[in-house]
Amino acid sequence: MDDATREQIQKMIEEHPVVLFMKGTKNFPQCGFSATVVEVLRRSEADFFDVNVLEDPAIRQGIKDFAEWPTIPQLYVKGEFVGGCDIVREMYESGELAPMLEAAGRS
């Protein structure tokens, strides 16, 4: 991944408390896994910045290298990689996600 892409990713996750790299947009998710995370964030009443990786191949590959995580979607909270669809859903169901999102929302 070239430096420009890395800086672009770094900037996005630092500028927004909650960032979701996904296929499609929050209003039109184009993948079941991405749609699941959007739904979890909606139910958690968490505002988030969505990044449609389908529009930018450099970001689509770069984010996988950045997080050492081979799939999309990827959720970031306060600059930290939280997980993909399964982990975010498990954290939502266990109640681990809500306090994390609330803290990010207040920051």
Partner 1 sequence: MIEAHEVEAKIRAGVPDAQHVAVEDLTGTKDHYRAIVVSAAFAGKSRVQQHQLVYASLGALVGGDVHALALSTFTPEAWAAKQG
Name which position in 12, 54, 87, 98 contacts partner 1 (CB under 8 A): 87
Residues in 22-61 that interact with partner 1 by CB under 8 A: 33
Backbone angles phi, psi at 46, to 5 degrees: -105, 130
Q: Give the type of residue at 68.
A: E
Using rule CB under 8 A, residue 93 touches partner 1: no
Strands 18-22 and 49-52: parallel
CA angle, 9 then 54 then 85, to 5°:
75
Q: Is 81 in the site for partner 1 (CB under 8 A)?
A: yes
Least Å distance, CB 94 to partner 1, is 10
Which residues in this chain contact partner 1 in the complex, by CB under 8 A?
33, 64, 68-71, 81-84, 86-87, 90
